[in-house]
A and B are shown apart, each in its own frame.
Chain A
Amino acid sequence: MNADKELDARGLNCPLPILKTKKSLADMTSGQILKVISTDCGSVKDMQSFANQTGNELVSSTEAAGEYIFLMKKK
């Protein structure tokens, strides 16, 4: 799946990946995909919780070489 926008949250710790995700989604339109790359293992649960509470859809959550990749579809 192609992302419409990418957020590099590498090196950032809680709650910055979530706050920056929220900010990035703000200037996107409904249905667009945001790709977030994080190195914070806590963001795996937090991204899911963010999606559950905001209605944005966490399309996928994967890990590769110590990096966590999230695809978030804007509500």
Chain B
Amino acid sequence: MKKMAIIATKGTLDMAYPPFILASTAAALGYDVQIFFTFYGLQLLRKDLSDVKISPLANPAMPMPVPMPVFVQMLPGMESMATMMMKDKMKKKGVASLEELRSLCQEADVKFVACQMTVDLFDFDKSDFIDGIEYGGAATFMEFAGDTDICLFV
């Protein structure tokens, strides 16, 4: 059986998609898949994903309906508005929600491993995380990753 390992280090909406899309697809293609969530990537394991947002600030590549100067992007509420607009667009275009992709991964037996060091570092409460995840460190990741066909850092 082919194997794929992914390290998910980012906790924004745009960067949350690639790990879940690739993991669910690889699992559908018969891969044994593991995602190691570390640093901000741990946000993707929370039961409540409503804090996973996208920011137009310092993100000049983000397509905007109207040109928006940086000082406007800094205003309170802009991040929530951009996130709302992005989610709305995704829904219209038939792109799966993060919640849906994440549960499809779990249904397909993708293994989720949370970085214990980062959990301690940020004082995360494990009860905020979804069920069915494991906790481990760099050596845990290497044991699986050392034997994979595809290994990605996101």
Contact = CB atoms under 8 A, between A and B. Distances in A.
Interface of A: 11-16, 18-19, 21-22, 39-40, 50, 53-54
A33 to B, nearest CB: 19
Q: Interface SS of chain B: helix, strand, loop or mixed?
A: loop
Interface residues of B, number: 11
Contacts of B24: 15, 19
Contacts of B21: 14-15
B95 interface: yes
A19 B28 contact: yes
Nearest to B100: A16
A43 B96 CA distance: 15
Nearest to A11: B94
Interface of B: 21, 24-25, 28-30, 93-96, 104
B97 to A, nearest CB: 11
Contacts of B30: 53-54
Contacts of B96: 12-13, 15-16
Contacts of B104: 19
Given A53-B30, A54-B30, A18 B25 contact: yes
